[in-house]
C-alpha cells in the first residue's frame, strides 16, 4: 500500500523525535490535554473510546485517566511502541482504512491531524471504517489543520458517504466558534439519522 502522508513526510527518526518532544512537553508541565477535556465533556462516565491514529496515545491515556476505556490504533510501529507504555490501553498496530476490530465504541477520536496525514485518496475508506466502529449513538470527533490538501469540504462529503453528519464544528479544541477562515477545524459528527 502507498505510504501515509505521515510516513512520506516523516522518517522513523522523526516519529521518535515526535515521541520525545511530547515527553519533554509533558515533563515541563505544558497542558497537552485540551482535546481530552473536550471529548470527555461529550461522553458519559465510563465510555468506550477508540483513539484513531493515536500517535503516542497522549489523548487516549488522558481519557483513560478520566475513567473511560480506551483502545488505540496507529500504523506507525514507533508510535505503537510508545502508546503501549500506557498499560491500561489496548493498542493495535492497524490501518484505519481497513480497520475491523469486531466491536463498536461510544466515541472515535482522530486528533492531531490524523485525517490529513492519511494516504491521499484513502480518507473516505477510513471515515467509513470509523463509522462502522461507532455505536448507534456514538460520536466521531476529528481535529485537523485547514491548510492541507484534504479539506473540510472533502471531510464533510466523506462523512455523508459514511452515513454521518456534522453536529458541531469549532475552530479550536476549546470551542472557539467555527469561521470559514479558521486555520483549524474540530468536527463532532454522529449518524445522520440521529440528527434528522
Ligand atoms: C500527527 S500524528 C497525530 C497523533 C496523535 N493523534 C496526536 O494527537 O498526537 C498523525 C497520526 O496519524 C497516523 N495515521 C495516518 N494514517 C493512518 C492510518 N491509515 N491508519 C492508522 N494511523 C494512521 C500516523 O501514523 C500518525 O501517528
Can you give the pLDDT at residue 102?
98
Cell for 148?
492541507
Q: Mean pLDDT, to the nearest integer, of 85-108?
A: 98
Whether the CB-CB separation of 56 and 18 falls below 8 Å is answered with yes
Can you give the pLDDT at residue 71?
98
Which has more pLDDT, 31 or 196?
Answer: 31
157 to 91, 132, 196: CA distances (angstroms): 29, 17, 17
71-89 exposure pattern, b = at least 16 Cβ within 10 A, e = fewer: bbbbbbebbbbbbeebeeb
Can you give the pLDDT at residue 2?
87
In this predicted model, what pLDDT tens digit does every residue of 25-80 receive, in sequence order?
A: 888 988 889 999 999 999 999 999 999 999 999 999 999 999 999 999 999 999 99
Can you give the pLDDT at residue 31?
87
Is residue 6 in contact with ligand 1, taking CB distance under 6 Å?
yes
- pTM of the full structure: 0.96
Nearest CA to ligand 1 atom 13: 53
Whether the CB-CB separation of 60 and 72 falls below 8 Å is answered with yes
Radius of gyration of the chain (CA): 16
Range 86-90 contact pairs with CB under 8 angstroms and sequence separation of 24 or more? 86/57, 86/60, 86/61, 88/61, 88/64, 89/51, 89/57, 89/60, 89/61, 89/64
In this predicted model, what pLDDT tens digit does every residue of 102-126 receive, in sequence order?
A: 999 999 999 999 999 999 999 999 9
Tell me, rounded to whole angstroms, the distance of Cα 41 from its chain centroid. Answer: 16
User: 196 falls in which pLDDT band (50, 70, 90)?
Assistant: confident
3.40.50.720, 3.40.50.150, 3.30.2420.10, 3.30.930.10: CATH of 5-195: 3.40.50.150
Is residue 60 in contact with ligand 1, taking CB distance under 6 Å?
no
- Please tell me the least confidently modeled range out of 9-13, 69-73, 81-85, 185-189: 9-13
How many residues belong to the chain? 196
Is residue 113 in contact with ligand 1, taking CB distance under 6 Å?
yes
Is residue 96 in contact with ligand 1, taking CB distance under 6 Å?
yes
Whether the CB-CB separation of 176 and 144 falls below 8 Å is answered with no
Can you give the pLDDT at residue 1?
74
Mutate to test the pocket of ligand 1, among 6, 130, 142 (most ligand atoms within 8 A of CB): 6
For residue 6, give the ligand 1 atom closest to its CA: 24
- Please tell me the least confidently modeled range out of 17-31, 83-97, 119-133, 134-148: 17-31
Can you give the pLDDT at residue 195?
87
Is residue 112 in contact with ligand 1, taking CB distance under 6 Å?
yes
In this predicted model, what pLDDT tens digit does every residue of 136-193 receive, in sequence order?
A: 999 999 999 999 999 999 999 999 999 999 999 999 999 999 999 999 999 999 999 9
Amino acid at each position: 500500500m502507498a505510504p501515509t502522508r505521515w510516513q512520506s513526510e516523516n522518517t522513523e527518526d522523526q516519529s521518535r523525535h515526535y515521541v520525545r518532544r511530547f515527553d519533554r512537553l509533558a515533563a515541563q508541565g505544558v497542558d497537552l490535554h485540551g482535546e481530552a477535556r473536550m471529548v470527555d465533556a461529550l461522553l458519559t462516565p465510563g465510555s468506550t473510546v477508540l483513539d484513531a491514529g493515536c500517535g503516542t496515545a497522549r489523548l487516549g491515556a488522558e481519557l483513560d485517566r478520566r475513567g473511560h476505556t480506551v483502545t488505540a490504533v496507529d500504523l506507525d510501529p514507533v508510535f505503537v511502541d510508545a502508546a503501549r507504555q500506557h498499560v491500561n490501553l489496548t493498542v493495535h498496530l492497524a490501518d484505519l482504512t481497513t480497520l475491523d476490530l469486531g466491536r463498536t465504541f461510544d466515541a472515535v477520536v482522530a486528533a492531531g491531524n490524523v485525517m490529513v496525514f492519511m494516504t491521499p485518496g484513502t480518507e473516505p475508506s477510513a471515515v467509513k471504517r470509523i463509522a462502522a466502529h461507532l455505536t448507534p449513538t456514538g460520536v466521531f470527533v476529528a481535529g485537523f489543520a485547514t491548510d492541507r490538501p484534504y479539506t473540510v469540504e472533502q471531510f464533510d462529503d466523506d462523512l455523508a458517504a459514511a452515513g454521518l453528519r456534522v453536529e458541531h464544528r469549532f475552530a479550536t479544541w476549546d470551542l472557539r466558534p467555527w469561521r470559514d477562515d479558521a486555520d483549524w477545524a474540530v468536527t463532532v459528527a454522529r449518524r445522520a439519522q440521529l440528527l434528522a
